[in-house]
């Protein structure tokens, strides 16, 4: 029998590919390392190693191996695509976009590659670059549901809502049970879910009972919006409750995990926070817009970014990720209490400098910009210490509308910060903790966070916005009031609503569901939260 050491590199690579297909990553390692002993520049062996590491979730190792593969075979599109995907999964979106562009430059012709590259660019908040790739994928392989849906996603972000809706409808014609297409179509135009569409949606929801929680969640969201469009708000609430419950069980979520987070922040920032001890030289560039989701953060972002001196960075997770990486963590999840304590001892000036470097591709190296990430309110103490000149704005909305808005919204199941949103009582508990934390921040960070009433902002936008601009050191500009004319992309859950003019329609929406909210009203009342004040 031929000894392993006598096998030719081609045979070793064949064996490694077989082990990769079987999910035997140790076997891939064995045969690829032998191939590399024959020739260190064996690009395919490096690619197979990188593929195994990627599938095993070892992203650093995957990136290291795939970089070698790309170095030795720079015109191999699939090598570049997998390297870009490894960066994307690790939330290193600027690197992912750069590698994806190299793949685009090679002019791949197959629809699958075009689609994957488009997804990478879309996740990197580059929808204008992603859209033509999805269009090419659709043209090359019409009738593939995923390609039509991805094109709809890019168009939604870019504000081309008519095309987004049309592509969702094509996707559903191809696959009437496609949960993601139902969900987006409901968001784009819930009134279209009537007649035959409603019957198909109802059938899809009934069929979803035996599917995974993500499918049921998406279709349940669509059905709830369809019931709302008919004025059947109790039915809409019941469908949401029914479809969100399996997701909550899958996540194994209890509020105790978030409670520990809030308690830790209150504990470690127990006295007035000094912001003169870091020596940070970070300029007065960032304007952090934060608050509970569904409270108008995107509206304010659109108003501010319509100012000629301001650009929007969108919802960037960079500060929280870099803060956690500074304590040796990957930074992709919600920080633990231990990480929060350790983060007080890191070089926050260095975190600030890396943060500004990380957003430079989006916003350049000079001028003001908006970082619109709702849950940055968790990091307000660190932001204040890292960047003493940065402005922080927190949106506050009626407590009941906030809770109902979070319950009505569908967040990504794998997004760690919004795990509370799958149960209305959990949302109420989270709101109470948020409300108490904001009161604490005002105590220990006096004058650092401007709290803004959503209701006041949309009822009297001119007056309120002048106050906000003055706080940020910006001159008045009437363009800020015409958010419907702001052409910038929107990736948040408000991507559809903020294409309209500022309006007050959402104020008091919670009363349509009041019959279902007894426990929420009781919890908020016991906590001393005023549920009547808008």
Q: Is the pLDDT of residue 493 over 70?
A: no
Average pLDDT over residues 436-463: 97
Residues 259 and 385 in one domain: yes
Predicted local confidence at residue 265, as pLDDT: 98
Residues 202 and 260 in one domain: no
Residues 242 and 260 in one domain: no
Kindly provide the residue ranges of all beta strands, DSSP E only, lying in 381-441, ordered along the sequence. 391-396
Residues 75-84 pLDDT 10s: 999 999 999 9
Residues 453-488 pLDDT 10s: 999 999 999 999 999 999 999 999 999 999 988 877
Token digits of residue 253: 């979520």
Predicted local confidence at residue 1, as pLDDT: 42
Residues 239 and 311 in one domain: no
Helix or strand run (H / E) with residue 238: helix 233-251
Residues 193 and 342 in one domain: no
* 116 in a structural domain: no
Average pLDDT over residues 503-531: 96
Residues 333 and 288 in one domain: yes
Predicted local confidence at residue 3, as pLDDT: 57
Residues 343 and 387 in one domain: yes
CATH number, domain of 450, equals 3.40.50.300
289 DSSP assignment? E
* 431 in a structural domain: yes
Closest CA to 387 of 341, 424, 423, 354: 354
Full DSSP string of 166-216 = HHHHHHHHH-TT-HHHHHHHHHH-GGGS-THHHHHHHHHHHHGGGS-HHHH
Closest CA to 86 of 98, 72, 76, 74: 98
Closest CA to 241 of 430, 411, 423: 423
Burial class (CB in 10 A: 0-12, 13-18, 19+), 412: exposed
- What is the spatial distance between Cα 127 and Cα 54, in angstroms, rounded to a whole number? 25
Predicted local confidence at residue 484, as pLDDT: 86
- What is the spatial distance between Cα 64 and Cα 362, in angstroms, rounded to a whole number? 26
Residues 144-194 pLDDT 10s: 999 999 999 999 999 999 999 999 999 999 999 899 999 999 999 898 898
Residues 227-238 pLDDT 10s: 999 999 999 999
- What is the spatial distance between Cα 462 and Cα 477, in angstroms, rounded to a whole number? 10
Tell me if 124 sits within 8 A of 93, measured CB to CB: yes
- What is the spatial distance between Cα 49 and Cα 69, in angstroms, rounded to a whole number? 9
Q: Is the pLDDT of residue 339 over 80?
A: yes
- From 252, 274, 307, give the residue that closes a domain: 252
Strand-strand pairing, 391-396 and 368-372:
unpaired
Residue 388's Cβ-side half-sphere holds a number of Cα atoms within 13 Å equal to 10
Question: C-alpha dihedral over 495, 499, 505, 507, to 10 degrees?
Answer: 50
Tell me if 397 sits within 8 A of 374, measured CB to CB: no
- From 206, 237, 252, give the residue that closes a domain: 252
Phi/psi at 293 (5° precision): -60, 155
- Helices 9-21 + 43-55 axis angle, to 10: 20
* 278 in a structural domain: yes
Average pLDDT over residues 302-311: 95
Residues 369 and 419 in one domain: yes
- What is the spatial distance between Cα 348 and Cα 325, in angstroms, rounded to a whole number? 12
- What is the spatial distance between Cα 2 and Cα 366, in angstroms, rounded to a whole number? 64
Token digits of residue 59: 């992203």
Residue 35's Cβ-side half-sphere holds a number of Cα atoms within 13 Å equal to 24
* 316 in a structural domain: yes
Residues 242 and 345 in one domain: no
- What is the spatial distance between Cα 208 and Cα 217, in angstroms, rounded to a whole number? 9
More confident residue, 501 or 442: 442
- What is the spatial distance between Cα 191 and Cα 198, in angstroms, rounded to a whole number? 10
Residues 85-137 pLDDT 10s: 999 999 899 999 999 999 999 999 999 999 999 999 999 989 999 999 999 99
Max avg pLDDT among 194-203, 274-283, 427-436: 427-436
* 14 in a structural domain: no
* 141 in a structural domain: no
Residues 350 and 467 in one domain: yes
- From 252, 268, 288, give the residue that closes a domain: 252
Residues 193 and 264 in one domain: no
Residues 200 and 277 in one domain: no
Predicted local confidence at residue 348, as pLDDT: 95
Please, which contacts does 335-341 make with residues 24 or more away whose CB atoms are closer than 8 Å? 335/261, 335/378, 337/260, 337/261, 337/263, 337/264, 340/261, 340/264, 340/265, 340/268, 341/264, 341/268
Number of H helices, E strands in the chain: 26, 5
Predicted local confidence at residue 355, as pLDDT: 96
Residues 11-63 pLDDT 10s: 999 999 999 999 999 999 999 999 999 999 999 999 999 999 999 999 999 99
* 355 in a structural domain: yes
- Helices 297-305 + 461-471 axis angle, to 10: 70
* 69 in a structural domain: no
Overall number of domains in the chain:
2
Domain that holds residue 225: 176-252
- What is the spatial distance between Cα 182 and Cα 19, in angstroms, rounded to a whole number? 38
Give the confidence band of 224 by pLDDT, cuts at 50, 70, 90: very high
Q: Assign 490 to helix, strand or coil.
A: coil
């Amino acid at each position: 029998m031929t000894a392993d050491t006598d096998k030719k590199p081609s045979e070793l690579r064949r064996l490694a590919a077989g082990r990769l297909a079987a999910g035997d990553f140790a076997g891939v390692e064995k045969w690829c390392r032998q191939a590399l002993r024959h020739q260190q520049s064996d690009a395919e062996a490096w690619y197979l190693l990188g593929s195994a590491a990627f599938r095993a979730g070892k992203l650093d190792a995957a990136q290291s191996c795939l970089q070698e593969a790309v170095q030795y075979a720079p015109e191999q599109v699939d090598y570049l695509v997998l390297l870009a995907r490894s960066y994307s999964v690790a939330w290193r979106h600027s690197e992912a976009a750069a590698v994806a562009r190299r793949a685009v430059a090679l002019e791949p012709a197959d629809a699958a590659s075009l689609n994957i590259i488009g997804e990478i660019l879309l996740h990197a908040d580059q929808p204008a670059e992603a859209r033509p790739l999805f269009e090419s994928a659709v043209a090359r392989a019409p009738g593939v549901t995923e390609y039509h849906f991805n094109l709809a996603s890019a168009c939604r972000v870019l504000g081309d809502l008519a095309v987004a809706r049309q592509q969702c409808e094509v996707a559903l014609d191809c696959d009437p049970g496609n949960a993601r297409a139902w969900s987006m179509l409901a968001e784009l135009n819930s009134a279209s879910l009537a007649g035959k569409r409603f019957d198909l949606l109802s059938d899809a929801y009934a069929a979803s009972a035996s599917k995974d929680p993500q499918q049921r969640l998406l279709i349940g969201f669509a059905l709830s919006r369809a019931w709302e469009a008919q004025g059947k708000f109790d039915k809409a609430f019941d469908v949401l409750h029914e479809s969100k419950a399996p997701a909550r069980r899958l996540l194994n979520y209890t509020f105790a995990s978030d409670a520990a987070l809030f308690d830790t922040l209150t504990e470690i920032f127990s006295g007035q926070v000094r912001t003169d001890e870091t020596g940070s030289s970070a300029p007065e560039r960032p304007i952090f817009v934060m608050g509970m989701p569904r409270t108008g953060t995107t509206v304010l972002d659109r108003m501010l970014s319509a100012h000629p001196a301001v650009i929007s960075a969108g919802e960037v997770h960079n500060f929280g990720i870099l803060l956690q990486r500074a304590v040796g963590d990957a930074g992709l999840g919600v920080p633990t209490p231990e990480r929060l304590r350790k983060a007080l001892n890191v070089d926050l000036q260095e975190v600030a400098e890396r943060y500004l470097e990380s957003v430079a591709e989006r916003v350049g190296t000079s001028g003001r910009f908006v970082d619109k990430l709702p849950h940055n309110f968790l990091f307000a103490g660190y932001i204040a210490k890292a960047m003493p000149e940065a402005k922080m704005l927190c949106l506050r909305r009626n407590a009941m509308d906030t809770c109902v808005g979070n319950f009505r919204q569908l967040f990504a199941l794998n997004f760690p910060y919004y795990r509370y949103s799958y149960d209305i009582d959990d949302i109420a508990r989270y709101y109470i903790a948020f409300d108490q934390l904001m009161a604490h921040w005002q105590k220990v960070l006096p004058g650092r966070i401007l709290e803004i009433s959503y209701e006041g902002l949309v009822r009297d936008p001119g007056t309120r916005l002048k106050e906000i601009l003055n706080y940020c050191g910006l001159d008045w500009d009437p363009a800020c009031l015409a958010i419907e004319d702001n052409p910038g992309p929107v990736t948040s859950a408000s991507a559809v609503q903020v294409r309209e003019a500022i309006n007050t329609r959402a104020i008091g929406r919670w009363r349509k569901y009041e019959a279902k909210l007894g426990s929420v009203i009781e919890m908020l009342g016991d906590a001393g939260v005023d549920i009547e004040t808008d």
